[in-house]
Amino acid sequence: MLLSKTNIAEKLTQAKTKSYTSEADRLKEIYSIFSELDTQFNRIGNNINNGNGTPGNKFNLELLQTQNIYHTNEIKQICIDYRLRFLDTKYFKGEIPSEALSIIKSLEKTHQLEIKGFKIIAPSKLFKLEDKDDPILFAPIGNGYFYLIHKWGNDLHPLRKILMWPFKSIVNLTVLVLLLSFLITLMVPEGLFSKANSTKEFLILNFFMFKCVAAVVIFYGFALGKNFNPAIWNSKYFNS
């Protein structure tokens, strides 16, 4: 006689019927678990959306992953290089993913504390519009150190650092203006203003192009209230 195969689902049902817990009590227990989770996630969400900066959270340093600990100077340098901002999460208009909330809940349970003072690294537009370009969520540890909790969204464009290089300082921007004016001067057809092409004429035309490009850059900067990367990396103001 062949033995019949064991159906695990049926065995589970049999074990369930032998349990002393009624269906009503079981559902009540499950509801209580989910209700507690909702309460915890709502509290964490409120801390993220409404919290102000706090000096630090009393983490158990022995339980932290050291590769996720960053100093303010390191964060500042990255923000300057890629023209990003590092602000309190209350200014962030995007959506915090559920994965981040779960990680925060796990950290709070592990370290026996309520985490506050969250900050985010993201492009400026993410603090005004809903978008998903590479936000990174941090919690302060203290003494200028922050713990990376979660990163989500898309990675930044590989050329972003190069594209944002002119905005690091007035010197960088001047170099760009000089380069652009030189290239534009080269594009001017020979003999357009004079039959005799000379170095003097080229330099005069190059200087004229430099003033034109510089005027456009200055107008754009003042009209839109733009500033250089070191001045905006931790600024909460729109016109900066």
Answer yes or no: is pLDDT of 225 > 60: yes
What pLDDT, on a 0 to 100 scale, did the predictor assign at position 37? 72
How many angstroms separate the CA atoms of 143 and 160, rounded? 30
DSSP of 90-148, one letter per residue?
GG--SPPPHHHHHHHHHHHHHHTS-----EEEEEGGGGTS---S--EEEEEEETTEEEE
**For position 71, what pLDDT does the model report?**
92
Instruction: Give me the mean pLDDT over the 145-169 stretch.
Output: 81
Confirm if 110 and 31 have CB atoms less than 8 A apart.
no
Tokens matching residue 185: 């001067």
pLDDT > 70? residue 128: no
Amino acid at position 156, single letter: L
Cα separation, 68 vs 77, whole angstroms: 16
pLDDT given for residue 22 in this prediction: 65
Average pLDDT over residues 13-28: 65
pTM of the full predicted structure?
0.63
Instruction: Give pLDDT, residue 92.
Output: 83
Residues 67-126 have pLDDT tens digits of 999 998 999 888 888 888 888 888 887 788 888 888 999 999 999 998 988 988 888 776
Residue 84 DSSP one-character state: E
> Mean pLDDT: which of 69-73, 79-83, 139-143, 196-200 is highest?
69-73
**Residue 20's pLDDT is what?**
55
Cα 123 from chain centroid (whole Å)? 6
Higher pLDDT, 77 or 153: 77
> Three-class SS of residue 71?
strand
Lowest mean pLDDT of 54-68, 91-105, 226-240, name the range. Answer: 226-240
Strand partners, 121: 86, 136
